[in-house]
């Protein structure tokens, strides 16, 4: 709430009332009386003014509009920290010149499949392995993940390949277990506004990959990042994975404009997940290339050795050969925009 625009009917009494309200919040004001409009500039740290307080001013007599200049998210904003946040995990870097690729199956299905996929993605140049052990499935009758057993397979695949692990948490009660096996904690799209879960991962000492909610605006997404950061964990990686629109030709609509928008608004690294964004394997490569072209700091790509029989998201999973081909094609795009894969 940085600028309060008054309407022509505003009286001196109205203005004094607003000034007293600001004073009660420890804020000062300057008044500029124009021929058309009078404007109050608010001085002081307005970042702690809540949306409710802002709305209370908005409905005060004589007020036409309230323009907020300081963002409602602070720790996540570029105004607060101008330099890009760079996150280092076991020798891998997210937010630097090199664009890391997180690859693996949607779900960890068994040891053999997990080990096999991990070796294949490593050979193709992936920097992280992924796989869900706790799966957020739309149907309670679908495969829900192997739980801790799945985490053990991930950890073994990580030891074998040397690639760090990204896996999803759905419930704060699994935190202790998951932390023993993972290097980055994923918050899935469906939990982007699970505020208790956000606060919980905000208290742990591992980076958080925060996926964009199915119908979340960029502001809501950044507010979710702020929840994590408000508890002390500054290592948040944003992951665009497509949003719900009226379009049905793709599973979601991959909002690649979110990447340059976020680059202006936040210092946090931005990863793009074209797999969930499009939902079809043959659309993944073009969108992955586009993501690199618009400035993504990383990619998340689902890979499966046998997509036809995958227990989840087979239709959007690349076979290892297609993944390998994509990785080599991405090199050229990365080079064109001053990055590396």
Q: How big is the chain, counted in residues?
A: 341
- When asked if residue 132 is in the footprint of ligand PEP (CB under 6 A), the reply is yes
- When asked if residue 276 is in the footprint of ligand PEP (CB under 6 A), the reply is yes
Binding mask 133-152 for ligand PEP (x = CB under 6 A): ---x----------------
> Can you tell me which of 122, 241, 263, 289 binds ligand PEP, judged by CB under 6 A?
241
DSSP secondary structure string for all residues of 50-61: -HHHHHHHHTST
Residues 6+ apart with CB under 8 A from 257: 294
What is the C-alpha separation between 3 and 29, in angstroms, rounded? 9
Number of residues that bind ligand PEP (CB under 6 A): 9
Measured from the CB of residue 289, what is the shortest distance to Mn ion in angstroms?
A: 20
Residue showing tokens 């490569």: 285
Which strands sit side by side in the sheet containing 28-33, from one edge to the other? Answer: 28-33, 38-43, 3-6, 63-67
What is the C-alpha separation between 59 and 57, in angstroms, rounded? 5
Listed ranges 66-74, 109-117, 186-194, 254-262: which one lies at the site for ligand PEP (CB under 6 A): 186-194
> What is the DSSP code (8-state) at residue 165?
E
- When asked if residue 188 is in the footprint of ligand PEP (CB under 6 A), the reply is yes
Helix 218-230 and helix 195-202: axis angle, to 10°?
50
> Can you tell me which of 189, 216, 259, 283 binds ligand PEP, judged by CB under 6 A?
189
Listed ranges 83-91, 143-151, 169-177, 188-196: which one lies at the site for ligand PEP (CB under 6 A): 188-196
312-322 residues labelled b (16+ CB within 10 A) or e (exposed): bbbebbbbbeb
Binding mask 78-117 for ligand PEP (x = CB under 6 A): ----------------------------x-----------
Q: Count the Cβ atoms, other than its own, within 10 Å of residue 30.
A: 9
Measured from the CB of residue 32, what is the shortest distance to ligand PEP in angstroms?
A: 47
Listed ranges 176-184, 222-230, 279-287, 312-320: which one lies at the site for Mn ion (CB under 5 A): 312-320
330 binds, among Mn ion, ligand PEP, none (CB under 5 to 8 A by kind): none
Binding residues for ligand PEP (CB under 6 A): 106, 132, 136, 188-190, 211, 241, 276
């Amino acid at each position: 709430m940085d600028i309060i625009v008054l309407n022509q009917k505003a009286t001196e009494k109205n203005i004094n009332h607003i000034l007293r309200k600001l004073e009660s919040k420890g804020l000062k004001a300057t008044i500029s009386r124009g021929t058309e409009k009078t404007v109050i500039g608010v001085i002081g740290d307005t970042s702690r003014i809540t949306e409710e307080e802002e709305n209370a001013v908005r409905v005060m007599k004589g007020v036409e509009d309230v323009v907020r200049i300081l963002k409602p998210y602070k720790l996540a904003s570029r105004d607060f920290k101008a330099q890009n946040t760079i996150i280092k995990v076991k020798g891998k870097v997210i937010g630097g010149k090199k664009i890391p690729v997180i690859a693996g199956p949607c779900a960890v299905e068994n040891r053999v499949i997990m080990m096999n996929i991990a070796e294949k993605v490593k050979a193709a140049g992936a920097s992280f392995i992924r796989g869900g052990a706790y799966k957020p499935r739309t149907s309670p009758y679908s495969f829900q993940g192997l739980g801790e057993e799945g985490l053990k397979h991930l950890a073994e695949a990580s030891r074998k390949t040397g690639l760090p692990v990204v896996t999803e948490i759905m419930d704060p009660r699994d935190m202790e277990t998951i932390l023993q096996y993972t290097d980055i904690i994923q918050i899935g799209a469906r939990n982007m506004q699970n505020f208790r879960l956000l606060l919980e991962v905000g208290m742990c000492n591992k980076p958080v990959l925060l996926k964009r909610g199915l119908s979340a605006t960029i502001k809501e997404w950044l507010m979710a990042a702020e929840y994590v950061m408000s508890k002390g964990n500054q290592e948040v990686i944003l992951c665009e994975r497509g949003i719900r629109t009226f379009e049905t030709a793709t599973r979601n609509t991959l909002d690649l404009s979110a990447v340059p928008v976020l680059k202006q608004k936040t210092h946090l690294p931005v990863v793009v997940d074209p797999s969930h964004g499009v939902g079809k394997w043959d659309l993944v490569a073009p969108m992955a290339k586009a993501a690199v072209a618009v400035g993504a700091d990383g990619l998340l790509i689902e890979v499966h050795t046998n997509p036809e029989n995958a227990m989840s998201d087979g239709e959007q999973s690349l076979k290892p050969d297609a993944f390998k081909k994509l990785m080599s094609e991405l090199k050229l795009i990365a080079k064109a925009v001053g990055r590396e894969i």
